[in-house]
Structure 1
Amino acid sequence: MDDKYYTFSYKLRGDYKASPQYFFVGTHCANEFLDITKHDPLPLFNPLVHEQENHSPGNSPSSSSGDNKRLHPFNQELLTAINMLCISWDIIPKSGLDKIITFTRRRSETPNYNGIEWFNQIVGKDRQRRSLRIMIDQLRENNELKDLRFDESNNYLNERDIVNNIN
């Protein structure tokens, strides 16, 4: 049984306006799929304190699919925040989150200010009216999580007097 999973998104060939579809696979299957498609290893997101010593392809935050663009720290915070929201809500990144991820990765060196505002609005729709920080603290009750900080995102929202759902 795998303890790591990949989420792949795809669109039907030729139907570029269609919403992406998703499927999940374990590490072994994902590596086979990447080999068959001749795709570079993908980065993994691991919020746990104790990372496994297994450094399989894609196990490093710096690995990416073919491009070595530097990810702006603001964008890294945004992508981490999206991952944590998906974990907390137990969802795949749909409903706009996938668009934020795609745009942020495509323009990795430029802070995605619109993306953080859009993400902040999505977090504000939490049924229990929790901030992302509260969600992470609740996850921390049963998991040893890394210290996840969102200083740049919080500063951006607070400086503009935008209701901050991240904190």
Structure 2
Amino acid sequence: MQCRGEDSRKRIVDKYNLNTVAHVQLLAGQDKLSCTNITLTDTYYCFSYEAKEEKDSGSFFCGSYAANHFLELTGLDPLPLFNPLVAQNSGRSGGHGGNPQQGRQAWDDTAKQLYNAINLLVVSWDIAPGGVIAKIKDKVSSNYHRAPYDSEIKAINTIISKDPRGRNLQEMIDELRNRNNIRIFNFDLLNTVLESKDIQSNYG
């Protein structure tokens, strides 16, 4: 997907339905390419797309400038920034961890673990994850106050299993820690759901 220039982005929106997958912080040692064909240097978005009139779907990364234009063209709401780094001088997470509902009902603990897992998968993979992730992320964010469906937990678990190097999610996070001060993430509630179904967990 090539999106350099305003006209290109307008054509994309005319042809495809877009959805936001994640808004995340680029980490040290990462090299990700925007759909504008420019290497990303700071925060970035992951979008999924699906053609309106034919079978064509996928996903792409873009920096803040192009992302804001896509949000304007589509009317999609901006996502809070998910920053997995430990905040300096506090030992706490950077920002509020991408919590889109701060100040409202409390997050369900299992939903928050799945929400974090999706964001961390986007951070860890150089290739933008596909549209299934976007749909599940949207459902989890919209229903943050209740536990996600088992099918949603299993679907993300299956996607993690497709890691080209065979890593589980915690192993991906551990590799990111080689050059980044990543905070601790726990997926015990997700693992419990999978164990009850006799399914091997790829969350770690």
Q: What is the TM-score of this pair, normalised by structure 1?
A: 0.72
- Report what 2:17 is aligned to: none
Aligned position for 2:167: 130
What residue in structure 2 maps to residue 6 of structure 1? 45
1:108 aligns with: 144
Q: d(CA) in 1 for partners of 2:164 and 2:108?
A: 31
Kindly tell me: are residues 161 and 41 of structure 1, through their superposed partners in 2, closer, same or farther at Cα, counting changes over 3 Å?
same
RMSD: 3.6
| Deviation, structure 1 residue 146 | 0.7
- Aligned position for 2:190: 153
Q: How big is the shift at 1:71?
A: 3.5
One-letter code aligned to 1:123 = I
Identity of aligned residues (%): 36
Q: Gaps (5+ residues) in structure 1? A: 53-58
Q: Distance in 1 between matches of 2:161 and 2:76?
A: 36
Compare the two structures and name the one with the higher strand fraction: 2
Question: Hey, what's the Cα distance between the residues in 2 that align with 1:161 and 1:8?
Answer: 33
Q: Post-superposition shift, 1:23?
A: 5.3
Measured after TM superposition, the shift of residue 103 of structure 1 is 2.3
SS in 2 for 1:114: helix
Q: 1:19-57, CA deviations, whole angstroms, 9 ceiling, x for partnerless residues?
A: 47655122x6656776788876531100011369xxxxx
In structure 2, distance between residues paired with 1:37 and 1:77: 29
> TM-score, normalised to structure 2's length?
0.61
Superposition deviation, residue 7 in structure 1: 3.3
Q: Residue type of the partner of 1:158?
A: E
Kindly indicate whether the alpha-carbon contact (under 8 Å) linking 2:59 and 2:131 is maintained by their aligned counterparts in 1: no
Q: 1:72 to 1:9 in 2, by over 3 A?
A: same
The alignment of Structure 1 onto Structure 2 pairs a total of residues equal to 158
Question: Which residue, out of 155, 163, 172, partners 1:118?
Answer: 155
| 1:24 matched residue in structure 2 | 62
Inter-partner Cα distance in structure 2 for 1:36 and 1:122: 30
Runs of 5+ in structure 2 lacking a partner? 1-39, 90-94
Q: CA deviation at 1:130?
A: 1.3
Please, which of 107, 112, 122 is the counterpart of residue 71 of structure 1?
A: 107
